[in-house]
Amino acid sequence: MNSFRTKRRILPPVLAVASLALALALPLGARAASEKATPGPPIVKTGDVRVTGTTAVLKGTVDPRTFTTTYYFEYGPTPTATPGKVTASGTVEGGPGAIQTTAVKESATGFEPGDYYRLVATNSAGTVEGAAVKYTPKPTTPTSKKSEFVLPKTFLPTPLGGTFVLSGSLTGTGSADRAIQLQESPYPYTAPYTDVGGPILTGPTGAFSFHVANLTTSTKFRVATVSAPSVLSPIVPEAVSLRVVLKARTAGKNGLVRLYGTVTPAEVGAHVYIELEKLPQPKSEKPGRIEKPEREGKHESSEREPVPTFATKFDTVVKRATRSISRFSVIVSITHAGHYRAFVQVKPGAVVSGHSGDVLLNAPKKAKRKKKKA
């Protein structure tokens, strides 16, 4: 097989100069017509390449110069040594006085980065090898994704003195092992944000978790990256609820019960609602109703647990207080057994409304009527 170098006929210097002068003297249209009208070896130009994995589509152009011309591509690791691989061949039809440049292409398998390739064409007037072209893949620039914080949209209030946990993740390029800092602005949220503790590192996936112990005031939080580029999270307002304690003891006969407790911080005049838990009622089957069969793949564990609700049974106000704590007390008659809690309502501020834990209260048993003797 021939080498990568294009074969050319060397003209004597005098003839070369004369040919060049004639070419310059002729108009462009006359030169094009002269070239078209002259039979000869094909005019070949190696084109570009489209590579997918190790498969390539090699491209080029062939001018058959009035003769039917066959072509193929050679490709290999060097430009001068004989290539090790050859594509399938194709044909470009020619005819007297009808020479036309034709785009050609062939598929090549086992094509590697750094390979050279060239187009080779042959007709009855000779064989021409196109210039060798090296395939150098363009360096791929990794696509960078803008970093941003992803946090829960809502949080339950933190009981007074409790621990607030802020968990989320940092997404985007460079989110793993990134130094981030928690910042806060307490109620009334007029002070600038300040750091809470020291910075921590995100996990391999960008996840993180901050723990703020002994939270006593409603506070707005945000998370910021320590190093550039600077990224700030959305503002997370976290409310602190009152600490309410409810206790009960008997208060004489006839089922009277004293319900009393404390509210922290002191909230004299705040309304206290004694609420009874109302369990959701099970669905009752209607007469003559045919239940639809369960869909396949649906399990009981996937059903949501019913959420209990509370109904107000008694109310009072907070009357006594010290510097840090206030008290309430009310004597009531329990007619419905169940779980009771105290809900204390205040205007949102440094703290918000809160409720106590549940207290189980039993209703007094009704005395049985004695039957009269006949």
Regarding whether 94 and 81 lie in a shared domain, the answer is yes
Q: Which amino acid is at 328?
A: F
Instruction: Find how far residue 277's CA is from the centre of its chain.
Output: 41
Identify whether 10 is part of a domain: no
CATH of the domain at 183: 2.60.40.10
Residue 368 lies in a domain: no
Clarify whether residues 109 and 153 are in a common domain: no
- Tell me the C-alpha distance between 310 and 248, whole Å: 18
Per the rule left: phi > 0, alpha: psi between -120 and 50, beta: everything else, 125 is alpha
For residue range 161-182, list pLDDT tens digits in order: 999 999 999 999 889 999 999 9
Last residue of a domain, one of 240, 256, 290: 240
Alpha-carbon distance of 112 to 247, in angstroms, equals 81
Please indicate, yes or no, if residue 35 is contained in any of the structural domains: yes
Beta-bridge partners for 60: 46, 104
The whole-number pLDDT of residue 65 equals 87
Looking at the chain, the whole-number percentage of residues with pLDDT higher than 90 is 61
- Which residue, chain included where needed, has tokens 């985007």? 172
In a domain, 298, yes or no: no
Same domain, 353 and 276: yes
Residue 351: Cβ within 10 Å count? 25
In a domain, residue 23? The reply is: no
pLDDT of res. 36 = 52
Q: Is residue 255 part of a domain?
A: yes
Number of domains in the chain: 3
Most confident of 34-43, 82-91, 210-219, 287-296: 210-219
| Helix and strand element counts for the chain (H, E) | 2, 28
Residues 138, 136: Cα–Cα separation, whole Å: 6
d(CA 39, CA 256) in angstroms, rounded, equals 122
SS3 36: helix
- Domain identity same for 46 and 120: yes
67-76, 163-172, 248-257, 356-365 — which is least confidently predicted? 248-257
CB atoms within 10 A of CB 98: 10
Question: Does 6 reside within a domain?
Answer: no
| Residues 82 and 59 grouped into a single domain | yes
Q: How far apart are CA 88 and CA 73, in angstroms?
A: 8
- Asked if residue 115 and residue 88 are part of one domain, the reply reads yes
Pair (37, 129) in one structural domain = yes
- The overall average pLDDT reported for the chain is 83
Question: pLDDT at residue 294 above 90?
Answer: no
Residue 159: band (very low, low, confident or very high) from pLDDT cuts 50, 70, 90? very high
Tell whether the model's pLDDT for residue 300 goes beyond 90.
no
- Residues 354, 259: one domain? yes
Tokens of 62: 């062939």
350 shares its domain with 269: yes
pLDDT recorded at residue 308? 74
Q: What is the pLDDT of residue 323?
A: 84
- Same domain, yes or no, for 231 and 251? no
Say how far apart CA 125 and CA 65 lie, in whole Å: 9
Q: Which domain holds residue 45?
A: 31-134
pTM greater than 0.75 (yes/no): no
Distance of CA 11 to the CA centre of its chain: 68
Residue 143, in any domain of the structure:
no
Predicted pLDDT of residue 10? 42
Q: Would you say residue 271 has pLDDT above 80? A: yes
Q: Do residue 77 and residue 158 come from a single domain?
A: no
In the predicted structure, residue 22 carries a pLDDT above the cut 50: no
